[in-house]
Amino acid sequence: MIKLKQVIVQLSNNDFERIADSFKKTKADNYYLLFQSYRSEKISDAEITKKLGISSNSFYVLKSRLFDKIQEHLSVNVFETQESLIKQLLQVPEVCFNMPRETAIAFLNKLEKELLKFDLHNDLLVVYSALKKMHLHSEKYFYYSQLFNKHTALGLSLEKAEELLGNFNRIFGQYSFSRSQPDLDTLYFLKNEINNLFSLNQSRQIEIIKYFIDLQLAIFCEENKGSELPTTELIQKSRKLFSELPQTSPQKKWEFALDHLSFEYYLSTEEYKTAAGFYEKVNEQISTLLLYNNICVTSKFLLSKIKFCCETGREDELLSDPKKTEMFYDSEDGHAKVQIAIYNAMLYFMQKNFKEAVNCLNTILNNFSFKDFFHESINVKLTLAYFYLVQKDYDLVEISLKSISRKIKSDQIEKYYHVLHLIKIFELEMNQTGNSKASLKSKDLFILFTANNKKGNEVLPHLIPLLRKKY
């Protein structure tokens, strides 16, 4: 992370000493060693990693956290300044009626400049309202009226943009479960709505929202119609916008959701080394991850984590007890509830606790209506069928497979024909255990299944690595 090294080298002596002292006081030895090493520029990353006795992934996370801590230290005064500004804002009526007009205007103009630094548009309305009234008999009355209207429009536009993003995420959760064309059409309609809003008000905040919508369509959907930029460029432009936001901007915390989308993208392109850095950052905050559901559909991370760990030989990370990891989420978010159930079931399965694994899936099948979400019911029921298959409980395997097979053959044959290949594999394993011909046929069928298991109709992303090893 060249940026981190540059920041540390460019720190003033006072800032450097203040931050170094804070690490000493809190006994944050690893931070202190890395901080001092980058300041001197006399030791390489490889030497620092060896000295700390940590892995390259842990070293990446350490650098990322150190960068965050430096930003926190440097922004302390910023937050103190903002608090001071809010106090001054409360004094505006008093200033307007108890100070000479020239003094009051000077006070308001200074307050205006400070508020603009922090993008506090709603607070600026108080200032412009006062300035407008104080210039009632001046030619500047129109000027301040225009500024008041501009920031009113900006505030309303931003609220509208956040509303569109929330609706997009809600519909996207439904589309993830249904893969229906009407849901997909609604997503593109909302994409056009945000594009129209951005063309009217080209603020950084609305542009970030626009990119979050574009990124989710590009990463998770079969095609992103009308996309102006490649996915990597969308990620880079979003990062740049976040770096330009004031430290006090509420949207600054949204960058964590961008880390999630970056992980999902690099996982989908099988760039596992790049994905690993984002995985570490997101997984570290998995307990609060699902609370970002109004920004993007973060619950998709749970099954992506299973896939990533299995593909990269990190299965040991899936051996933790689900009951010991608390995840906060919106109890009304159906997408999150189902993903948590499958995630927990997979963790239990990896630990060979088959009873709990089966219970997780049966509970969600009983408590959640999959009536309009056949696609997701395939994920749950086929996962359950595989669990039963491993336990050789063939009667229950057959019951699970029949309900899916019947539905596909009746009205979903074109979309899910590849799923029938997987069902056939399971049936072969039940009926001809140890048969070499059956084994070869299963391999051929699995090749056909994976070849057609693409974004628009992809099923079992969390189970594919395990199935690939078996078949």
Mind listing the pLDDT tens digit for each residue in 258-296? 999 999 999 999 999 999 999 999 999 999 999 999 999
pLDDT confidence of residue 68:
76
- How large is the average pLDDT for residues 302-308? 96
Q: Which two tokens stand for residue 146?
A: 């225009």
Please state the rounded mean pLDDT for residues 363-380. Answer: 94
Domain residues of the chain, as ranges?
Answer: 372-471
pLDDT at 226 (0 to 100)? 56
Average pLDDT over residues 226-248: 85
Query: Mean pLDDT: which of 25-39, 363-377, 448-462 is highest?
Result: 363-377
Dist. CA 337–CA 369, nearest whole Å: 12
Closest CA relative to residue 75, chosen from 230, 242, 217, 249: 249
Average pLDDT over residues 357-364: 96
For residue 161, count CB atoms less than 10 angstroms from its CB and return exposed for 0-12, middle for 13-18, buried for 19 or more. buried
At 220, the pLDDT band (50, 70, 90 cuts) reads very high
Q: Is the confidence at residue 75, as pLDDT, over 60? A: no
Please indicate whether residue 414 or residue 143 has the higher confidence score (pLDDT).
143
Residue 370 has a pLDDT of: 93
Show contacts of 269-274: CB within 8 Å, 24+ apart.
270/311, 272/308, 272/311, 272/312
Say if residue 471's pLDDT is above 70.
yes
Q: Give residue 71's pLDDT band: very low, low, confident or very high (50, 70, 90).
A: low
Q: What is the mean pLDDT of residues 364-382?
A: 94
Taking only the tens place, the pLDDT of each residue in 323-339 is 888 899 999 999 999 99
Residue 435's pLDDT band, with cuts at 50, 70 and 90, is: low
Q: How far is CA 371 from the centre of its chain?
A: 28
Q: What is the pLDDT of residues 184-219, one digit of tens each?
A: 999 999 999 999 999 988 888 899 999 999 999 999
What pLDDT score does 206 carry? 93
- Distance of alpha carbon 400 from alpha carbon 423, whole angstroms: 10
| Separation between Cα atoms, residue 279 and residue 262, nearest integer Å | 9
pLDDT at 103: 82
| pLDDT at residue 302 tops 60 | yes
**pLDDT tens across 55-65, in order?**
877 888 888 88
| Between 115 and 315, the higher pLDDT residue | 315
Of 390 and 5, the structure prediction assigns the larger pLDDT to 390
Cβ atoms of 211 and 234 within 8 Å: the answer is yes
Per the model's pLDDT, the better-predicted residue between 309 and 31 turns out to be 309
Whether the per-residue pLDDT at 35 is higher than 90: the answer is: no
What average pLDDT does range 136-165 have in this prediction? 92
pLDDT digits (tens, 9 = 90+) for 387-411: 999 999 999 999 989 989 998 988 8
Task: Give the residue from 216, 316, 209 showing the smallest Cα distance to 264.
Answer: 216
Is the pLDDT reported for residue 76 higher than 80?
A: no
Task: Give residue 3's pLDDT.
Answer: 64
456 vs 379, higher pLDDT: 379
The pTM for the full model equals 0.78
Confidence of residue 171 (pLDDT cuts 50, 70, 90): very high
Q: What share of the chain is helix, strand, coil (3-state, %, to 5)?
A: 80, 0, 20
Q: How far is CA 460 from CA 86, 229, 303, 340, 343, in A?
A: 51, 29, 9, 15, 12
Say how far apart CA 109 and CA 2 lie, in whole Å: 39
Distance CA(342)–CA(361), nearest Å, equals 7
DSSP letters of 278-321? HHHHHHHTHHHHGGGTTTS-GGGHHHHHHHHHHHTT-GGGG-S-
For residues 362 and 384, what is the distance between their CA atoms, to the nearest angstrom? Answer: 8
Q: What percentage of residues in the chain have a pLDDT greater than 90?
A: 55
Residue indicated by tokens 């086929």: 382
Average pLDDT, the chain: 88
